[in-house]
Amino acid sequence: METEPHSAQDADPSGTRAMYEEEQRPDHGPLAGFTVGVTAARRADELGALLERRGAVVLHAPALRIVPLADDSELLAATKEIIGQAPDIAVATTAIGFRGWVEAADGWGLGEDLLARLRGVRILARGPKVKGAIRAAGLTEEWSPASESLAEVLDRLLEEGVDGLRIAVQLHGEPLPGFVESLRAGGAEVVGVPVYRWLPPEDLGPVDRLLDATVSRTLDAVTFTSAPAAASLLSRAEERGLLADLLAALGHDVLPACVGPVTALPLQARGIDTVQPGRFRLGPLVQLLCQELPARARVLPVAGHRVEIRGHAVLVDGELRPVPPAGMSLLRALSRRPGWVVARADLLRALPGAGRDEHAVETAMARLRSALGAPKLIQTVVKRGYRLALDPQAESKYADA
C-alpha cells in the first residue's frame, strides 16, 4: 500500500495542473483548507501556531504527558553515583532533560557538586538545543553531530572505542534503540540518568477525538515529534479496537509526518511509511507539510474555473471556499468521476448518516453550490443525478483514462 504523498501528477492524472502554472498570489496560507493533528506534549503551542499561521486548522491531542522525576529516587541515586565517581564521557540527549537534571540537583542541594564533576568530563551533545542548555549551565560540550542524530553519536563513540570507559547517558523518557546496549557490548560501563518519563495523558478525550477524526478521514495529516507519542497513539487505538482502521487511514489517506527517523520507528514497525524533513526541527516539519498536502489535493478544470479540492475547503480560482462536511462528501464523490453523471443513490451513500432520504442529497447539494460560489460547477441531470461540469478540453482525457 502506498503511503508516501502523491505527486502532483498522481493528484491530477489528466495533467491539467500544467494549465495553471502561472504564479498566483493567494491571500491564504499554503495549508488553508487542511486539518492537521498535533500529538506533541511539549512545544505543542509552538507547532500549532506555525501550522495555523500557514492556514491550517489544528486538532491538538497530546498523546502523552511528561512527568519530571525531580523527586524520583532513581534520578537522585544516579546523580549521587556520578558525583561520587565521575564518568569519562557524558551524553546529553535533550535540552529539557539536561536542564531538568541540573534543576533537580539544585533542589537536592547537589547542583554545584554535579556541575563541578561534569566540568572534568567529555560531554557530547545531540544537537544545538542541547548545546545551549549545556552552556547555560556553565559547561562546554566537546562535540555535537551536525545531523542531530544519536546514531552518529553512537558511531563516533564506537569508532573511538569505549572499552573500559564509564559513560553517563541522559535518558529522555523513550527507548534509545540499541544505544545503551551497543555501548555495553563495546565494553563500556553505562550509567543511565532518567530525567523524566512519558505516560499516557490524564484526559484521553482529545486523543480519542483525534483517533476518530483520523479513522473517518476528516484529518489530512497527523504530526509526531517523539516516538512515545506515536507509540501512545497506536496503543490507544488498540485499546479501542481501532488499530486496523488507524493503520489503514495512515497508510493511505491521512499523511503521517514525523520530525525525524527515531520518531517514526513505532509507525514503521507497523508497516506505516512516513514523511520526514531533512532537518529535525518544527519549522522544516511545517514546511514539509506545506509542500506535501497541496500536492495531494485534487485539481480539476471545471466550467472555466480552476477547482482544487482540499480537506475541508475548496480553492476556486485561488479563492478559499470553506465547505460543510456533507458538501465535501458529495464533491469528493463527484470528483472521482469528473464529467460523468453520479446517481442520487450513489451520492446518498456518500453522505454520512443520511439514511435513505434522497432529499438529503438535494439539501447538501444546494449548500455545496452556495459554498462554492459558482453554481455552474455542478450540473443537475434531470432524473439521473449530478455531474461536475468538466471543461470540454479535459473531458476527453478523463473519458479515455
Q: Read off the pLDDT of residues 333-361 as tens digits, 9 standing for 90 and up.
A: 999 888 899 998 899 988 876 566 778 88
pLDDT band at 65, cuts 50/70/90? confident
What pLDDT was estimated at residue 2?
Answer: 29
Kindly state the average pLDDT of the residues 132-158.
92
pLDDT at 365 over 80: yes
Residue ranges with strand state E in 207-246: 221-224
The model's pTM is: 0.71
Instruction: Specify the range with the lowest mean pLDDT, choosing from 55-59, 252-256, 269-273, 375-379.
Output: 375-379
What pLDDT was estimated at residue 5?
Answer: 31
Instruction: Specify the range with the lowest mean pLDDT, choosing from 83-97, 220-234, 277-291, 351-365.
Output: 351-365
Q: Which residues lie below 8 Å from residue 249, measured CB to CB, with a gap of 6+?
A: 214, 215, 217
pLDDT at 60 over 80: yes
Residue 296 host element (H or E): helix 282-296
pLDDT at 276 over 70: yes
Looking at per-residue pLDDT, the higher value among 147 and 205 belongs to: 205
How many other CB atoms are there within 10 angstroms of residue 225's CB atom?
Answer: 24
Place of cell 506555525: 50
pLDDT at 315 over 60: yes
Go through the chain and tell me how many residues it has.
Answer: 401
Instruction: Specify the range with the lowest mean pLDDT, choosing from 6-10, 55-59, 281-285, 383-387.
Output: 6-10
pLDDT at 375 over 50: yes
Residue ranges with strand state E in 113-187: 122-125, 166-171
pLDDT band at 181, cuts 50/70/90? confident
Per the prediction, the chain carries an average pLDDT of 86
Grid cell at residue 90: 557524558
Q: Considering the chain, tell me which residue range(s) the CATH 3.40.50.10090 domain(s) occupy.
A: 31-64+201-296, 67-199
pLDDT at 392 over 90: no
Specify the long-range contacts of residues 98-103, CB closer than 8 Å, at least 24 apart: 98/130, 98/133, 98/134, 98/137, 98/170, 98/195, 99/133, 99/136, 99/137, 100/68, 100/69, 100/70, 100/195, 100/196, 101/75, 101/170, 101/193, 101/195, 102/137, 103/70
What percentage of the chain reaches a pLDDT higher than 90?
62
pLDDT at 13 over 60: no
What pLDDT was estimated at residue 176?
Answer: 60
Kindly state the average pLDDT of the residues 194-214.
90
pLDDT band at 22, cuts 50/70/90? very low
Domain range 298-400, CATH architecture? Orthogonal Bundle (1.10)
What pLDDT was estimated at residue 199?
Answer: 81
Kindly state the average pLDDT of the residues 101-114.
93
CATH class, range 31-64+201-296 = alpha beta
CB 320, CB 28: distance < 8 Å? yes
According to DSSP, the residues that pair with 298 across neighbouring strands are: 309
3-class DSSP assignment, residue 32: coil
CB 193, CB 78: distance < 8 Å? yes
Q: What is the pLDDT of residues 215-253, one digit of tens each?
A: 999 999 999 998 889 999 999 999 999 999 999 999 999
Grid cell at residue 338: 469528473
pLDDT band at 11, cuts 50/70/90? very low
What pLDDT was estimated at residue 309?
Answer: 94
In the CATH scheme, what is the code of domain 67-199? 3.40.50.10090
CB 122, CB 92: distance < 8 Å? no
What pLDDT was estimated at residue 70?
Answer: 57
What pLDDT was estimated at residue 72?
Answer: 77
pLDDT band at 66, cuts 50/70/90? confident
pLDDT at 28 over 60: yes
Query: For residues 94 and 121, what is the distance between their CA atoms, to the nearest angstrom?
Result: 18
Query: For residues 290 and 38, what is the distance between their CA atoms, to the nearest angstrom?
Result: 15
